[in-house]
Amino acid sequence: MITTPTAPIGGKGPVSCPDDGPLTGTLALPAPTGLHSQDGTGHVLLDWDPVDGALGYVVHRSDSVDGPFAPLDHGGGDMPVVPHPPYADTRVEAGRGYWYKVASWTGAGPGPLTPGPVRGCARARGIGPAAVEVRVDAGAAPVPLRGVWKRTIGSGHLPLPPDGGPAHGGTDTAAEHAEALRIVLGGIGIRTVRTHGTFQPERVTVRADGTFDFTELDAALDRLLAAGLEPVVELSYPPEDIAADPGTTVLKRGGTSTRPDPGRYRGLCRELTAHLCERHGADEVSGWLFEVPDEPGPEVLRTGSQDAFHRRYETAARAVKGVDDRIRVGGHSSGAAAWVGSLLEFCRRADVPIDFVSARSRGNAPLDLRPLTRSFARATGRPEPEVLWTERAVTARHFHPADDSAFAAPSVLRAVKSALASADAFTSWVATDRMERADPPPALFHGGPGLLTAGNLRKPRFWALRLLSGLAGGRVPARVTGDGAEALVEALATAAGDGTHSDVLVWNGTPDRTRAAGAAALDRTALVEVRGLTPDAVYDVTLWRVDEGHADIRTVWEAMGGGDRPDARQWARLRAADVLPAEPLPAVSAGPDGTVSLSVDLPMPGVRSLRLTRA
């Protein structure tokens, strides 16, 4: 056992560190064992034994048993890492054989490949869609469904001022952005907003005496709070006046990307925290999150080193905690979890406070960062930091058509289900395509990352989260078997616990962007069996569908002729079509054992939600 000499959180004396070795999840691990494949319709299904301490896995493929083996790219993600098995390779040709190996992935990168490759061969589609079975135990004791997707939403910019300029929907940008936040608050239940651009020049200015003017920031935060939302305060992009190189800026935000002067940055963070506590009350602000972000990649978003970020994080964390130790501080929204392990290791060695780690995922489902956070807690004796995925988008870059399409609906549900098992928050990036105080988007549907279009039409990804938020009761077991089970087709289910109702949410999707427009071989028919209902009772059934032909506003626009921007008449037609209809199905009777069975079509991409209510 060693004792660190530096001051701990709150300055109460030295902290004992029972473990001085490297944090679990920061070193390479052995290759997974038990790798095997299963030939599927339109895909090859791979499964393997999970490796203790792995954050994720990298699947490699070759056309030959002798290699070379290359990582399977999903065509739009941060990096080709998947959080867990099983995995469905859909970038295949029917009847053609492939060879596979898998590597564990940690903060140190991928480890060694499995020594012996396995072969897989996709089948062609038969006469009709292949089948899967979804078995729900509505009689099991329900457990709370953790609303990780409701905790926060990404905001490309703090809510814009009233003079934000004209927007797509005929209102000014600020009104449009405020409406977008109201929609995600009411439709999904989002509670907080990650305040991108806190220190932007239009938010914080430096007075002649060196103090800071937060007038415009206060106005932006007031609009958030008035809408019923709380901020996640992002301590990012320092003002030009305190930056090492004021001329180095990023994107159109005008934020500086160089390391700030440590003393001035410390003063800014401390003064902002004190100001917020005085203005909103220390008890209120103590419930907010303060995030110190950075971008390990791409390089355009930063110019500092990893060590420079660590020092900036320490400066900010100590400044905030110096005002009120109850405020939760963390960082840093890194791509594909890069630098998370190194940040925790730095905080451990230097005894720097950290209450949560944040990361972003573009295109892939969230990885499991708990080996890092649990190891940190064991090594320091502190509470385990929370795991927050604060930016999750369908693709790594803007302007990908998948963001606007039904492909994004099962993608976001797959990501949420992964986060349910391993994270404390899942944040969609972002609320609306109208993100910046800049030129409007080039077209209504341009591949923007928002849940809503400019003009606030709901995309399929919004509807998927709306259905998720609509699940009633507690979570009960839902097991999927069959062709592509738990890799293509997944499910979540809830029930009241007294046999009065059960909800089943099932989806069919792949991370493979080359299948974003759909693939007939991946379509499925789902036999849904719900057990544990009231024996011999009659149940009303309601169905909701999200796919290319249902709740896909882009398809509606294309049927109208498409183009860049709607005129007033087209806007009226689009808003009338911006709905997710509830479709009543014929009532069903439970058997003597309380079981109901029904079949639904499940295209890829597609989402189906079923509600069974005792008549």
Q: Which of 140-149, 151-160, 261-270 has the lowest mean pLDDT?
A: 151-160
The predicted pLDDT at position 504 comes to 98
Q: Verify cis geometry, omega within 30 degrees of 0, for the bond prior to 18.
A: no
| Backbone phi and psi for residue 442, each to the nearest 5 degrees, phi listed first | -65, -20
**Kind and range of the H or E run holding 98:** strand 97-106
Residue 296: the pLDDT is 58
Judge whether 426 and 366 are in contact, CB under 8 Å.
yes
Distance CA 434, CA 66 (A): 49
The pLDDT value given to residue 169: 54
Tally of CB atoms within 10 A around 39: 16
Mention every residue, 6+ apart, whose C-beta is less than 8 A from residue 386: 328, 330, 355, 356, 357, 373, 424, 425
Give mean pLDDT, residues 91-99. Answer: 96
Long-range contacts of 114-120 (CB under 8 A, 24+ apart): 114/31, 114/32, 114/33, 114/35, 114/48, 115/31, 116/35, 117/62, 117/65, 117/69, 118/35, 118/36, 118/37, 118/46, 119/37, 119/65, 120/37, 120/38, 120/39, 120/44, 120/45, 120/46, 120/89
Q: Range with the lowest mean pLDDT among 231-245, 280-294, 473-487, 535-549?
A: 231-245
- pLDDT bin (cut points 50, 70, 90) of residue 26 is confident
Q: What are phi and psi of 243, to 5 degrees?
A: -85, 150
Mean pLDDT highest for which of 241-255, 444-458, 538-552?
538-552
How does DSSP classify residue 149?
A: G
Query: What Å distances lie between residue 90 and 8, 43, 133, 202, 360, CA to CA?
Result: 50, 4, 20, 47, 24
Summarize pLDDT for 462-490 with one digit per residue, the tens: 999 999 999 999 999 999 999 999 999 99
Confidence check: pLDDT of 300 > 50: no
Considering the chain, what percentage of its residues have pLDDT values greater than 90?
Answer: 67
Task: Report the length, in residues, of the chain.
Answer: 615
pTM given for the model? 0.92
Task: Of 128, 120, 129, 124, give the one whose Cα is nearest residue 45.
Answer: 120
Q: Are 429 and 448 in contact (CB under 8 A)?
A: no
pLDDT level of residue 493 (50, 70, 90 thresholds): very high
- Please state the rounded mean pLDDT for residues 501-506: 98
- How many percent of the chain have pLDDT more than 70? 87
Q: Where are the beta strands (DSSP E) in 455-595?
A: 474-476, 478-482, 489-495, 501-508, 524-531, 538-546, 583-589
Residues near 583 by Cβ (< 8 Å), separated by ≥ 6?
542, 543, 544, 545
403 touches 447 (CB < 8 A): yes
- DSSP of 287-328, one letter per residue? TSEEE----SS-GGG--S-HHHHHHHHHHHHHHHHHH-TTSE
CA pair distance 446, 436, nearest whole angstrom: 15
What residues contact 176, with CB distance under 8 A and at least 6 apart?
167, 168, 169, 432, 434, 454, 455, 456
The pairs formed by 258-265 with CB atoms below 8 angstroms and a separation of 24 or more are 258/303, 258/304, 259/303, 259/304, 259/308, 259/311, 259/312, 260/312, 262/311, 262/312, 262/315, 264/210, 264/238, 265/238, 265/312, 265/315, 265/316
**H helices of 227-369, where?**
262-280, 282-285, 306-323, 340-350
User: What is residue 421's predicted lDDT score, i.e. its pLDDT?
Assistant: 95
Q: Which of 259-263, 300-304, 414-418, 428-432 has the lowest mean pLDDT?
A: 300-304
Strands 230-234 and 192-195: parallel
The predicted-structure confidence for 370-420, as pLDDT tens digits, reads as follows 999 999 999 999 999 999 998 888 887 778 899 999 999 999 999 999 999
Contacts of 181 (CB under 8 A, 6+ apart): 153, 155, 159, 190, 193, 224, 227, 229, 431
Whether the per-residue pLDDT at 250 is higher than 60: the answer is no
On the CB side of 125, CA atoms within 13 Å amount to 11
